[in-house]
A = this chain, B = another copy of it.
Amino acid sequence: MRTIAIIGMGLIGTSLGLALRAADPQQAPLGAVHVVGYDQQHAHARAARGRLAIDEVARSLEAAVRAAQLVIIAVPVQAVQPVLADLAPLLAPGTVVTDVASTKGAVCGWARDLLPATVDFVGGHPMAGKEQAGPEAAVGELFQGAIYCLTPDARARAEALTLVEALVVSVGARPYFIDPAEHDAYVAGISHLPFVLSTALVAATSASPAWKEMAPLAASGFRDISRLASGDPRMHRDICLTNREALTRWINELIALLVETRESLAAEDAAALDAFFEQSKAARESWLASRPQLRPGEEQLDPPQAERPRWPGWLGGGKQKK
């Protein structure tokens, strides 16, 4: 029986608890688990317990980690630093610590600076989420088939990696080992730039004096592209602040492309516009075709009879494990 502490009973922490407790101990590489949950807001931990996401509510950080072999920090990225500082004196030698924050460079730096050499840190980032926040929104299936990035500290023991990898597989996700700086640069493009764009689109249109007349005309296209603007503002802010450099580079790319498009419009350059739309359509279709697997429910995100990605057996990349 392994004891696992989850610090932070928000969407991800509670969903991890649900997934861990739903896993078959005979099948899941983590085996039988006892999950202890803690949240500064005690009501969140109680709600998680009410949803059977955890076996036990801890009243303090100390109580949460006392018997834990594995500690999962599932708080907003800006809160990871103080939590690591608070945890440092409480962790027994040999404890393995991981997190779920959306940026990894800052988090891995804090862990290196703050945690004692007797514990191992393996950064983590499940590529899964939804707009809604809090324990009520949690679902145990959230990680099924999702890529789960792991950025182990250079000092971490092999056993620590194996343990966190077992966690990932037990919740139904697929481990993807990656360097923290690479991780941050990549997710800035495919995750952080998208929510900035989605938010900017809503900001631009809804600030218009004509918004009241425009709004009824907006249909499913607007709905889809604006979906990320409904995400948690605090999480988005924290991600931006801990990934400023990579995100700024992507924002600059985007501005350059918008300026080019504006110039194509001014010049009535049909060929340039053709190339712009055709190349992106082809790139997206090739991306859809390369996707190894849709997560449950994702196929419903497409309109009826929409493009159906093919399902090749596995990812092309060489970094993928399991």
Listed in ascending order, the chain A residues whose CB lies under 8 Å from chain B are: 127-132, 137, 139, 146-147, 149, 176, 182, 185-187, 189-191, 193-206, 208, 210, 212-231, 233-234, 236-237, 240-241, 244, 247-248, 250-255, 257-259, 261-262, 264-266, 268, 270, 273-274, 276-281, 283-285, 287-288, 290-292, 295, 297-298, 300-307, 315-317, 319-320
Contact = CB atoms under 8 A, between A and B. Distances in A.
Report copies per complex. Answer: 2
The A interface is mostly helix, strand or loop, or mixed, namely: helix
Instruction: Give the interface centre of A227, A228, A266, A270 by most chain B CB atoms within 10 Å.
Output: A227
Contact of A128 (B219, B237, B254): B219
Contacts of A201: 193-194, 197, 254
A127 B258 contact: no
Contacts of A221: 129, 191, 194-195, 227-228
Given A147-B219, A198-B225, 14 more contacts: A127-B219, A129-B221, A131-B303, A132-B306, A191-B217, A203-B280, A216-B320, A219-B295, A224-B224, A230-B284, A237-B273, A244-B268, A300-B300, A301-B303
